[in-house]
């Protein structure tokens, strides 16, 4: 892969907001409602991480969704998924659950552990208006089924979706059917420092989230912007890709890199429903109240 000529810079650093969801699960909401237009097609990113069962034990009992996709990436722990479309699966260490809610379903995500660490992320990915009422779909991807490669500098790349350094991700879908063309990478930087580059289409919105250590974004002015632990960096849309590094002698670091083509459609959200208009939202609420989801 040729070196990047004009790597992107950091536009803004974001500190997540502590909150609770489900039946009281403590988490940090990193991508919030006010960033949806800027980071279109991404609607939300939550980070949950605790070794206290009181923080996660009640889980996420039955709740509805319509109009988008959820991508849940489990770093540590065990979570059981069940939904009204008849899908069931166990999400565990290193695995991914990819769910297209489409026209709607009711599902639950409940911990299958009473102690130990539970850590992971849930990303909400918008669907284009034409697909918001599609048939719900679900896939469990076990950790062993996520392609990995290690760069010459020792950076381990887990390719959940998209492509990196010639390696295709666990989720591969035709761009004409899924126009967001989502890139989702989990980057593991080794101890001692390393550099990683990833080409990005200029139109794609992109961000990184650091969940171990500190990572630096090197831009086209040869300057470095540190992205500390538990911070999200929104990347500018000018440039041909992203160059990340860790400092010589630094401890290991890990970060998510997520990018996608914006849909540029109206976003109308009411809790777990994401549509294009208020009228569509009212219909979603009516359908849920009348038992018509799933």
Q: Which pLDDT value is given to residue 64?
A: 97
At 264 the pLDDT is 98
**Any domain includes 18:** yes
C-alpha to C-alpha distance for 158 and 22, rounded to whole angstroms: 28
Residue 220 reports pLDDT greater than 90: no
Residue 5 in any domain: the answer is no
The mean predicted confidence, pLDDT, of the chain is 96
Does residue 93 lie within any of the structural domains? yes
CA distance 209 to 58: 26
241 in any annotated domain:
yes
**Does residue 158 sit within a domain?**
yes
Instruction: Tell me which residue range forms the domain holding 220.
Output: 10-289
pTM score, two decimals? 0.97
Helices (H) and strands (E) in the chain, counts: 2, 26
**194-220: average pLDDT:** 96
Task: Work out how many domains the chain is built from and give that number.
Answer: 1
User: What does the pLDDT read at residue 269?
Assistant: 98
Whether 236 has a pLDDT exceeding 90, the answer reads yes
In a domain, 4, yes or no: no
Question: Smallest Cα–Cα separation from 164: which of 191, 182, 145?
Answer: 182
Residue 198, domain CATH: 2.60.120.10
What is the rounded CA–CA span in Å between residue 56 and residue 113?
Answer: 10
Distance CA 201, CA 147 (A): 22
Is pLDDT above 80 for 167?
Answer: yes
Look at residue 3 and tell me if it is in a domain: no
With respect to residue 272, please indicate whether it lies within any of the assigned structural domains: yes
């Amino acid at each position: 892969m040729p070196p990047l000529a004009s790597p992107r810079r950091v536009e803004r650093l974001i500190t997540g907001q502590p909150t609770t969801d489900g039946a009281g699960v403590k988490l940090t909401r990193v991508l919030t409602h006010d960033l949806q237009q800027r980071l279109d097609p991404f609607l939300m990113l939550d980070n949950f991480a605790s070794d206290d069962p009181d923080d996660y034990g009640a889980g996420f009992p039955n709740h509805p969704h319509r109009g988008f996709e959820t991508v849940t990436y489990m770093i540590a722990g065990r979570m059981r998924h069940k939904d009204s479309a008849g899908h069931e699966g166990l999400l565990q260490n290193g695995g991914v659950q990819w769910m297209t809610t489409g026209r709607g379903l009711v599902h639950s995500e409940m911990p299958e552990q009473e102690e130990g660490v539970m850590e992971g992320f849930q990303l909400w990915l918008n669907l284009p208006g034409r697909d918001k009422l599609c048939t719900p779909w679900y896939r469990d991807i076990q950790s062993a089924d996520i392609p990995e490669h290690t760069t010459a500098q020792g950076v381990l790349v887990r390719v959940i979706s998209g492509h990196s350094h010639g390696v295709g991700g666990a989720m591969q879908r035709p761009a004409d059917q899924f126009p967001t063309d989502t890139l989702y990478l989990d980057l593991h930087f080794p101890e001692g420092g390393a550099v990683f580059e990833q080409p990005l289409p200029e139109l794609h919105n992109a961000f990184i989230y650091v969940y171990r250590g500190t990572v630096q974004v090197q831009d086209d002015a040869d300057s470095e912007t540190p992205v500390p632990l538990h911070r999200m960096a929104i990347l500018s849309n000018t440039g041909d890709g992203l160059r990340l590094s860790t400092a010589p002698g630094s401890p290991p670091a890990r970060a998510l890199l997520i990018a996608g083509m914006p849909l540029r459609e109206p976003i109308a959200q009411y809790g777990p429903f994401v549509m294009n208009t208020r009228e569509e939202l009212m219909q979603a609420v009516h359908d849920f109240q009348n038992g018509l989801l799933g």
